[in-house]
Structure 1
């Protein structure tokens, strides 16, 4: 059993930290909203800390799951940041979906202080976090990863080292690029089915047994048809992720015409008032 700090108790971090506690690890949590941290302690035990630095002191591992690059830097660096309290030999594990650039930045800072770093973004959404069934793609030193793997197994169904620092984030970018294309294709297919006078769910029942099957079809087609989007992964978050993908593509020369187009479709959804709708709300812009 390990001594762990967990920074960030959003819809993903709250249950992820909970799985660590349920596995018997000693967990100290930090959240910008102290009330959320207190609610976690009341549910799972453990302790809360007033700053990332205080949470990190004396821990073997520090996990972070926050919003973006800026949020990550704010909990990692500075006088009250986690690195200021992290002991030599401890490992910082970042579950945030962030840029590969910030992953390399944190890795360099950790190495300079005799600490370890693994970027470990996750896929599987809120349900995956709650059920302990996330897919985790990691980047970092092989030795550091070997220490991290049995810890994150508390909330993972699949964990894999993809390469050096930043490789986990690059793999997550591939994940988001693929999801964007799948959701748009599903939205267009369901929209076409309605316009053609077909029963969309009857169509899905047939084609989901063939080559068109996908997680999105199995889990989102019914709610898309019903126009229900008040759950899941928000449009704002997807646009943040696609911006990271497109910025990285400009650096590495990859061509992402479909991802760029769907990013603009999501901008239309935002303009419709759907910033917090689930990403499956792409169908709403087709049915305006």
Structure 2
């Protein structure tokens, strides 16, 4: 049993923290909306805390799953942040999708801690099922020490490289997803314009070279116009912003990612900020 502070009970964080309590770990929780932390604690036997500093005091691991770089800084290095009380040698595991620069900076500024940037892929369904893919940056020994915790909700836990490389891997993941979703949207749009039976089409091509997770899980709902599956357009645009900023720094050429980012901006203008990423097909209709 580990003593764990978990910060951020959103769409992803809630089920991840729930898996930790189910595995028998002693979990303290903090959420900006205190009522949500109290509700989680009552449901799963965790301890609600009023500050991150309170949650992190004396624990083995501080885990964060928040929105962006500013949020990560606030819950770690802020006045009531977890780093003010987190013991020497403790694990800091950040599941937020943030910049690689921040991950590197936190590890460099706090060598007394074992910092791991560990963004995830698999969406809300993967978090609920405990089947996430976790991309880790940090010291190899630290990641091995964290593995019993990460295995509670991760199907695949892979060390990519040193600090920051987990976030860079997540950027690569988002680049691939953006292109796949746009291609799938265009395929289905073309099929509808050509008068094809889309159900028969997907049955025909769904196990061939065109098959993908996006096709398996989103194609039929895209045809039906249902876009309520958790990972919002606003979040994808945040992620692609990180991607394109990093590409400007390292010289990578990402014409498709840049184009799809603008397509998502079109969806936002249509009022689809909270629609999931498969809503790209809306702008083709």
Instruction: Name the residue aligned to 1:69.
Output: 69
Can you list the C-alpha shifts for 1:108-128, whole angstroms capped at 9, x where unaligned?
Answer: 1221xx111000000000010
The structural deviation recorded for 1:271 is 0.2
Provide the C-alpha distance between the structure 2 equivalents of 1:231 and 1:162, rounded to a whole number of angstroms: 28
Provide the C-alpha distance between the structure 2 equivalents of 1:150 and 1:49, rounded to a whole number of angstroms: 24
Q: Contact 1:106/1:117 (CA < 8 Å) preserved in 2?
A: yes
Provide the C-alpha distance between the structure 2 equivalents of 1:8 and 1:127, rounded to a whole number of angstroms: 17
Instruction: Name the residue aligned to 1:270.
Output: 268
Among 197, 210, 218, which residue is 1:199 paired with?
Answer: 197
Provide the C-alpha distance between the structure 2 equivalents of 1:81 and 1:63, rounded to a whole number of angstroms: 12
Instruction: Name the residue aligned to 2:110.
Output: 110
Equivalent runs, 1:42-57 vs 2, <5 Å:
42-57=42-57
Matched, 1:4 2:4: yes
The structural deviation recorded for 1:78 is 2.2
Q: Contact 2:11/2:230 (CA < 8 Å) preserved in 1?
A: no
Q: Contact 1:233/1:279 (CA < 8 Å) preserved in 2?
A: yes
Aligned residues: 285
Can you list the C-alpha shifts for 1:21-78, whole angstroms capped at 9, x where unaligned?
Answer: 1000000000000001011101110201111111000100000000011111110112
The structural deviation recorded for 1:79 is 2.0
Q: Contact 1:201/1:221 (CA < 8 Å) preserved in 2?
A: no
The structural deviation recorded for 1:230 is 2.1
Tell me, which stretches of 5 or more residues in structure 1 are unaligned? Answer: none
Would you identify which runs of 4 or more consecutive aligned residues in structure 1 move more than 6 Å?
none
RMSD: 0.6
Select between 258-267 and 37-46 the one with higher mean Cα deviation: 37-46
So what's the TM-score if we normalise by structure 2?
0.99
Among 228, 244, 261, which residue is 1:246 paired with?
Answer: 244
Matched, 1:156 2:150: no
Instruction: Name the residue aligned to 2:280.
Output: 282
The structural deviation recorded for 1:202 is 1.1
Instruction: Name the residue aligned to 2:218.
Output: 220
So what's the TM-score if we normalise by structure 1?
0.98
Instruction: Name the residue aligned to 2:26.
Output: 26
Provide the C-alpha distance between the structure 2 equivalents of 1:23 and 1:93, rounded to a whole number of angstroms: 18
